Amino acid sequence: MILCLAEKPSVAKDLAKVLGAKSRMDGYYEGNGYWVSWTFGHLCTLKEPGDYTEVWQKWNLDALPMLPSNFGIKLKNDAGIKKQYATIERLSQECDEVINCGDAGQEGELIQRWVLAKAKFKKPLKRLWISSLTEEAIKEGFTKLEDGNKYNNLYAAGIARAVGDWVLGMNATRVFTLKFADFKQVLSIGRVQTPTLALIVERQHEINKFTSEVYYELKTKYRDVLFAADLGKIPKKEKGQELMASIKASNFEIVSYTQKEGKESPPSLYDLTSIQVECNKKFAYTAEQTLNIVQKLYEQKLVTYPRVDTTYLSDDIYPKVEATLRNLTQFTEIVNPLLGKPILKSKKVFNNKKVTDHHAIIPTGVQASGLTPDFQKVYETITRRFISVFHPDCIVSNTTVIGKASEIEFKATGKQILKPGWRVVYPKVKSQPTPETKDTKKNIVKPEEQVMPVFTKGESGTHHPELQEKKTKAPSYFTEASLLRAMETAGKQVDDEELRDIMKENGIGRPSTRANIIETLFKRNYIIRQKKRILATSTGIHLISLIEDETLKSAELTGIWEKKLRDIEKGKFSVDEFKEELFQMVNNLIHRVKHQSPKAKHIPCPKCNIGHLIKGNKAWGCSDWKQGCKFKIPFEYKTIILSEKDIESLVHNKESYYSYLIQGSEEKRKIKFSPKLTLTL
């Protein structure tokens, strides 16, 4: 018998149907020479510190660092998991070979191989590697099974990642918590989550420190076209008024008028990060929501494997494109113009060198029906992008007009769409009636620039100048879309798509893990949402202030570690080398933190959760008062004088029991009882 081990029951059911394993047993399917079972995610995990030695069971500074010589795995403490594992263990001992049918990626490889390692599996191992769960893709995959050992480096990279997260997370969390935490609050530190939090905190500091400055711009309107002076920002109003007075006395003259035809290519196909960015911008979905929706669409056979970091297709997909397009019957209006002639094959879409384990996310061609509105939006977003890349380029006319008045040069630009090309795929939105054009550098869609009349060089006439007052703007708060991009490029501001693609290897985390990292920061109350904006809480800001070691919070350094994990996948770096560097880094970190000076007590504002409490002349107030938080606790409340200890208890417990000093008519008296104060927000 051959044991096929899938990652989820639903996938096992699809595989069993194709393989003819029709009999449903307890924990597996059977038939036609196959057993098909499943792991439903992580059955195994790395052992806890206390599993190695009693010394590590309790949190103790003297016991750090915790660096096991050999890492072990154990089953999760769950009755259902233990039962399913027992089934897999028995089948793996009785079968002739195993086919690893886990998700085709690093995490999927680790999940399955850990279970087989726990079961002491020693028989032949093969690997099913597919990008779609359609019947056709499954059948094709079983005709191209690989030797399981081919993926040993992928497994090794998964082990290194898990070990790295364990060693750094366990040690750093304990040392910072034991050294600095108040009220038994755990200060959670992570290889990816901490530099991500640092990005948010750093941006917040930039915003808080920013002071807006007034400046002026000189503009003029000639023949209903607005021209901007080529002077840049004018710092003083008086200077601006002087310049405006000089051009008022002069006619406006056209110096040059040029029109240039240009092409705009369709946007790239989606990888996981770009579909998460798109859905956050368009629908305000969180990264986790989008990932969950695309994962479900994949399991429903409607789209291909989602956890990918490439926006390209491999050449072997090209022969299947026409059939896929024909099956997208919901989109016949925009698909039909592509049929009946050779399908466009662009190097910006098909590139074997840009595809490793999987290609970009595309529809499979399976009919979609009965989707909820959220699922329909994401499915349609992926499908329209797929259809658009086979349409011709959009042809535009770029117009540049240069004029002058009183020797001051002015410029105006405009753009007209001559042939929409791929833009026919995207219907106009009623709330945004302005035609749209694509910024090729940033690969985004924006309102069309002003449409120009025809000008003649040398013509002149009256114009209407104006001096516009403007203010410099602070950096923007992160949204999930911009945070995902920052994680992808290790914190560097990169708009160019090609450069961003090059930097992916050094990004923070992986496409498949970034949504979970962001959600973890929310759950630990390090960040909060304000509509689309992401703000660091007082707790998050305080945690980053405690970390003096740049290794822990540097996005760039974390990106370098991520690159080493990828190099393990490629066989260019070993797990032993990775562990050696990791252990050295953690040893140094523990030593430095143990000898770090204690920090002042930190009391987060209980109302806004962004600022912290600072002591004023008559009350404790929020440090974020400039941003509008008016929370205050007076030193004296109804004759009760509150100590700092009382304030801390009120904030953290929402109530406080202590003896208080009561103001008498002649003297302060200590009252020997413990009344209760309750904090109501």
Catalytic positions, please? 305
Sign for the pseudo-dihedral over CA of 503, 504, 509, 511: positive
Tokens 């405690």 appear where?
A: 546
Say which residue the tokens 């009183």 belong to: 406
- Residue 368 is classified by DSSP as P
Provide the token pair at 52. Answer: 């190695």
**Residue 589 buriedness (CB in 10 A; 0-12 / 13-18 / 19+):** buried
**What's 611's DSSP letter?**
S
Alpha-carbon distance values, 138 to 14, 265, 314, 363, 613 (Å) = 9, 34, 18, 16, 59
Please tell me whether residue 560 adopts helix, strand or coil conformation. Answer: helix
Under DSSP, the state recorded for 234 is B
CB 44 within 8 A of CB 11: no
With residue 514 as reference, give the H or E element that holds it. helix 511-523
User: Are the beta carbons of 519 and 483 closer than 8 angstroms?
Assistant: no
| DSSP3 helix / strand / coil % (the chain, rounded to 5) | 40, 20, 35
The token pair that represents 258 in the structure block: 């040029």
* Separation CA 130–CA 144 (nearest Å): 10
Name the residue type at position 340: G
- Residue showing tokens 């630990």: 524
Q: What is the 3-state secondary structure (H, E, C) of 335-352?
A: HHHHCCCCCCCCCCCECH
Three-state DSSP class for residue 535:
strand
Cα gap 582→560, rounded to integer Å:
12
550 token code pair: 């740049």
E-strand stretches of 71-171: 73-75, 97-101, 125-127, 146-147
Could you tell me how far CA 632 lies from the centroid of its own chain?
A: 36
State the pairing for strand pair 2-6/34-38.
parallel
| Element spanning 317, H or E | none
Instruction: Give the side-chain half-sphere CA count within 13 A for 631.
Output: 22
Specify the residue for token string 């597919």: 130
Residues 431-437: contacts with CB under 8 Å, at least 24 apart: 437/264, 437/394, 437/396
Euclidean distance between CA atoms 564 and 175, whole angstroms: 26
For helices 480-488 and 193-209, the axis angle rounded to 10 degrees is 120
CA pair distance 603, 5, nearest whole angstrom = 50
Question: Distance between CA 558 and CA 546 in Å, rounded?
Answer: 18
Contacts 24+ apart (CB under 8 A), 619-627: 620/647, 623/538
Nearest to 187 by CA among 425, 496, 525, 463: 525
Sequence-distant (≥ 6) Cβ neighbours of residue 290 within 8 angstroms: 275, 276, 279, 280, 378, 515
Structural contact between residues 38 and 9, judged by C-beta atoms closer than 8 angstroms: yes
State residue 94 phi and psi, 5-degree precision: -95, -15
Alpha-carbon distance of 459 to 479, in angstroms, equals 48
